[in-house]
Structure 1
C-alpha cells in the first residue's frame, strides 16, 4: 500500500566536506569533554566543526525507556559516525533500496545507538546560533543519521546555523507492539525527547541557542515532529517545527495500526519460542539479529501506538482545532509543512492500472469518485502511472498538508506551506522519477551530487536552505513568503533533461489550482480523524 511505503527512505548523495588542517575542536558537555573535526566545503569559505556519534543516552535496556548517558572521564572521540539503531528492511524495501542504490549505515548497527551529530559554524560563539534538530524517516522501521544525505555540513556552512541529527530506535526495538506498559511503549519517541533534553542542556556550549530550536523531519520524521507538537514535553523544548512529506494528525490508517502491531509482536514471540505471558523478558534475551532477520522475512509491522498522551495524542487534529492562546494541549509553535510533486513514483513504478491499484487501498466508493476527477490527458497525467502518482500525492501528502495548515491557521498558529517540484538528471532515482518521496532532503541539506549539477540545481538547494534557516532564525517572519493561502514552490516544475531557462528557484503562488481536488478528500479525512480514529 502507498501509505505503508511512503514513510521511507533517503536518496543517495555525495559527501562534499573536506578535512581542514587545524587543531581538532573540543567542547565540554555535561557528560565530559568531546573532540571533533573541522571541515569545509569547496563552495564555501565557512569552516564547520563536526562532533559525530556523541552519546545522548546510555546503552538502552531492550524494550525499556532511554536513560541519560553517564559521564566519562577521558576525552570522547567524536570524529566518526556512531552506530545506527538496528534496521528492519523487508524484501520490498531492499528491492527499492537496490533500485535507488541506497547505502547502508556508515558505521554498522546495534542496540547501543543513542547518539547524535552536531554541525556548528566555525564562527559560532557560545549560545549564538539558531538550531535545527533533525529526525529521519523510515516508516518507523529503519533510518540512520550516518547516511550521507543527512550530513549537516553544507547547511551549517551556508546558513550559519547549528544542525543536530538524532538517532532513535525504530521497528520492534523502538515501538514494541505488546507487553510493554502503554506509557513506555513508544520508545523511539522517548529517545527523541531525551535527545531534545540533551540539546537544551548542552547546545549552548556547542554554539547553539537553546531558546531558538526548530525541529524538522521527513516522512516518519515529520510524523515524529507532529507527535512532539500534539503531545509536547513540558516545558516545550522547541519554538518552531518543519514537516516534510509527513505528519501524524491526518494519516490514512491503512496498515491496520495497533492491532497489526500486536499481531506482529505475537509472531515475533512465537518465532523466539517465547510464551505470551512472559514474552517481554524472553524476547529481551533473544539474539537481536535473529529477531531482526525474522521480522524482515515475515514482513512484520511496528509503529507508534496510543500511550495515554505521553508521546502520542489519539485526537491530534481535534486538539489542534480546539487550541487557543489561553488554553492548549498542543505546542502552539509556527509550522512549515509541505510535500513533493511526485511522491509515490518509486513505489508505483510499472503500475499502469489505476483502478485496480485503488481497489487495493480499501477506499470503497471513493475509488470511483477519484477516477472521475483525475481524467487522463490533463496536464501531468499523460499516462495511467502519472495519474496514479498524482492521486497518491494528493490523497496521502498534498491534501493532508493543506488541511493541516488550514487547521493550524484556524487556531491562530502561524502556518506556511511549500511544494518541492524539481528533478535533475543527477538526482533521479530512475528515469521519470520526478520529485519523488524524499527527493527534497538532499536539497535541504545541500548533499545532492555535485557532479554534473546545474546552476539552477544549486539555486534550488540554496533557496530551500535559506527558507528553512530563515524560518529557524525568526519563525515570526516566516520562510520568505506569506502565510496561507500562498505556497512556496521550489524548482518551478523543472524536469530532468528539460531546459531550466526562465525557471525560478522559489515562487510564491496561489494554490487554488494545485489544491482543486482536495475538497474530494476532506470528508474522508474528517470521517477518519475528527472522530478520533486515526
Structure 2
C-alpha cells in the first residue's frame, strides 16, 4: 500500500510539473494570458476571456483594428455585453466597448496544435445577447468548455453590436447599417489571422450560430468579404432567407427612432442620430411586443440586416455563389415557432421553401421535447422542441450540470456534440473522433434527406423531404391564390 501511495503521488506530481498550457500567447495586438484548468488525467484547457478583436467602435461605423496594448493582457474575465435593451424593454445595459472574444483551447496529453476551430455567433433577434450567454450561478450558457473538451476542438465566442447601434439604417450611404455583421466579420478575420498562436488551424474554421446567430452565419457565408476565412458553417433555427432576417424598409423604422430622440427626419437625420446619446438610441429601438395573426411578432424584428450594397450587395438568394465552397449544415427545432406564436395567438397554448444546395449540405430536425412541457405555463404538454431548446445540448449542459438532467438528455447532448464537432473537423458529421448514433446522409437536389435528432435517434430517424406539405403550401399553393383587395 505504501508503494502504491508513492506511485500515485509521483504520477500526480509528474502531471503537475508537465501540465499542458499555452502560457503567454502573442497576438497581433500584444501578449495575452488566460487561465489553465485541469479537466482530468492528462486533460487540461486554457481559457481566454475578453480578448479585444477590434477597437472601441465608432458610432454607426465599421469596426477598426485594435491599436494594441503594452505588457501582458490578463484574459480571465468576460467583458460586458454590447449596449442593449433589458428583458423588460424599458431600460438598457452594456457598453459600446464590447468587441471582445473568448477562446477555449483543449490539451489532451500534449499542447494543442493545428486543431479545428468553431466560432459561435449568438442569437437574440439582433436586439440582445452576449458572447457568454445567459448566466445562472456562474454557469454560462455559451461556455465552450464541454464542446472543446469532448470534441477536441477550439471554441471561440464573440460579441457584436445589436439593436439600434448594430443595425439601424437609413437605407442609404449616410447610415448604411449592418454594423453588427461587420463586427462578426472582424472577429472571424481576427481568428483567421491569430488562431494559429492558440494551437488552431486557420484553414479549418467552422462558424455556428442559432436564431439571429444562425441567420448571421448564413450572411457571413454569402458576403463577398469572407473569401478564404472559414471553411464550414452551421445554422441552427435561422438562415438568411428567413422573412425576418432582412429589413426591406429600414428608412421607416429609422425615422421612428429619430422622432423618439428628437432628431429630424430630413437629410440631417443621420448626423443628428450619430450625436445622440447611445442609451437613448438603444431605448428608442425597442421591439413592439403586441402580436396578432394579422401582424405577427416575428415581423417586428425591424432592426435586422439590410441590402447595403457592400456587406450584402444583393438579395441573399442571389449571393449563393459566394458560398459555393462552404460545407453547410442547417436545421430547425420541430416547434421553433412556438415562442412567437405564443404572443401572436395566445390560444395556441390552450388544450387543444426549397433553398439552393451549395457545396456539401446536411439538414436536421431537432425534436427532443421541451423539459418544461406540461409543468409550467405557458408550456403545454404537447410541446416539442421550442426555439433555443437545442442550445443547452449543443453546449453540453447535461454534462456540466448533471443534476438538472436525466440520462437521456446526456445522450442527445452527446449526439449533437459528436455530429457538430465531426462536421467541423471533416465536413462530414459522421466522420471524426466521436461515434454517432446513425449515419447522417447528405442533402442533395434529388434526395432531400435529413436526420431527426433526439434521445432516441437511430437509423429509423433518417427521413426525407422535411415538412413537404408545409413547403408545398408556402411555395406553391399560397403564391397562386387569388389576391383579395379591400378599400
Which aligned pairs between 1:114-263 and structure 2 lie closer than 5 A?
A: 114-123=99-108, 125=111, 127-147=113-133, 148-178=140-170, 181=173, 184-249=176-241, 251-252=242-243, 257-259=247-249, 261-263=250-252
Structure 2 residue aligned with 1:29, among 22, 27, 30? 27
Q: CA deviation at 1:273?
A: 2.3
CA distance in 2, matches of 1:170, 1:339: 23
CA contact (8 A) 1:36 1:52 kept: yes
Aligned to 1:371: none
1:400-457 per-residue CA deviation (whole Å, 9 max, x = no partner) reads 4xx23xx20xx5x211111111136479885434310011011111125422411111
Alignment coverage as a number of residue pairs = 426
Q: Where does residue 305 of structure 2 map in the other structure?
A: 304
Mapped to 2, the partners of 1:262 and 1:522 lie a distance apart of: 29
Give how far 1:235 is off: 2.7
Instruction: Check 1:526–1:34 CA distance in 2 against 1; reply closer, same or farther (3 A cut).
Output: farther
Q: Which has the higher contact order (CA 8 A, sep 6+)?
A: 1
1:288 aligns with 2:285: no
Residue 338 of structure 1 pairs with residue 331 of structure 2 = yes
Cα deviations by residue, 1:332-390 (Å, 9 ceiling, x for unpaired): 21111101111122333484657xxxxxxxxxxxxxxxxxxxxxxxxxxxx8777xxxx
The answer to whether residue 408 in structure 2 is matched with residue 444 in structure 1 is no
- Across the aligned residues of Structure 1 and Structure 2, the Cα RMSD in angstroms comes to 3.3
- Name the TM-score, length of structure 1 as normaliser: 0.72
**What are the superposed Cα offsets for residues 465-489 of structure 1, whole Å, 9 maximum, x if unpaired?**
0100000000056575111233222
- Tell me, yes or no, if the aligned pair for 1:59 and 1:112 is still in contact at 8 Å: yes
> For residues 233 and 199 of structure 1, what CA distance do their matches in structure 2 show?
15
Q: Is contact 1:459-1:505 (8 Å) kept?
A: no
Say whether the 8 Å CA contact 2:208–2:234 is kept in structure 1: yes
Describe the superposition over 1:144-164 as per-residue Cα deviations: whole angstroms up to 9, x where unpaired.
112221110111011100001
Deviation at 1:263, TM superposition (A): 2.2
* Most deviating of 282-291 and 157-166: 282-291
Contact 2:326–2:360 (CA under 8 A) maintained in structure 1: yes
Counterpart of 2:452 in structure 1 is 489
1:415 aligns with 2:415: no
Structure number with bigger Rg: 2
8 A contact 1:236–1:331 mirrored in 2: no
Q: Is the 8 A contact 1:142 1:171 kept in 2?
A: yes
- Please list the CA deviations of residues 56-93 of structure 1 after superposition, one character each: whole Å capped at 9, or x if unmatched: 010011111100111111211210001111113575x7
* 3-state SS, counterpart of residue 323 of structure 2: coil
Match 1:50 to one of 16, 30, 47: 47
Single out whichever of 510-519 and 150-159 deviates more from structure 2: 510-519
What is the CA distance between 1:267 and its match in structure 2?
Answer: 2.4
1:299-378, aligned counterparts within 5 Å? 301-308=302-309, 310-320=310-320, 328-349=321-342, 351=345
5+ unaligned residues in a row in structure 2: which ranges? Answer: 1-15, 134-139, 290-299, 432-438, 481-487
Using the alignment, how far apart are the partners of 2:68 and 2:274 within structure 1?
26
Q: Distance in 1 between matches of 2:201 and 2:22?
A: 23
Question: Which moves more between the two structures, 189-198 or 447-456?
Answer: 447-456
> 264, 273, 284: which is aligned to 1:275?
264
Once residues 298 and 421 of structure 1 are traced to their aligned partners in structure 2, the CA distance between those partners, rounded to angstroms, is: 29
Q: Could you tell me which of 45, 59, 64 is aligned with 1:62?
A: 59
Output the CA distance in 2 between the equivalents of 1:446 and 1:47: 17
CA distance in 2 between partners of 1:58 and 1:205 (Å): 20
Asked if 2 retains the 8 angstrom alpha-carbon contact of 1:197 and 1:237, the reply is: yes
CA distance in 1 between counterparts of 2:230 and 2:174 reads: 25
Write the distance in 2 (CA, Å) between the matches of 1:256 and 1:130: 31
1:281, 1:298 → 2: CA distance? 26
In the alignment, which residue of structure 2 is the partner of 1:266?
255
Q: Aligned with 1:131: secondary structure?
A: strand
Paired residue secondary structure (2:124): coil
1:507 shift after superposition: 5.8
Question: How far apart, in 2, do the equivalents of 1:513 and 1:227 lie?
Answer: 23
Residues 106-160 of structure 1 show CA distances to partners (whole Å, capped at 9, x for unaligned) of xx61001001111110237465100011111111111111222111011101110
Is 1:111 aligned to 2:96, yes or no?
Answer: yes
2:457 aligned with 1:467: no
Which stretch of the first structure deviates more once superposed, 516-525 or 445-454?
Answer: 516-525
C-alpha contact (below 8 Å) 1:489/1:506 kept by paired residues: no
Q: Does the 8 A contact of 2:34 with 2:47 survive in 1?
A: yes
Distance (Å, rounded) in 1 between the aligned partners of 2:403 and 2:370: 12
Equivalents in 1 of 2:169, 2:409: separation in Å?
43
The alignment's TM-score, normalised by the length of structure 2, stands at 0.78
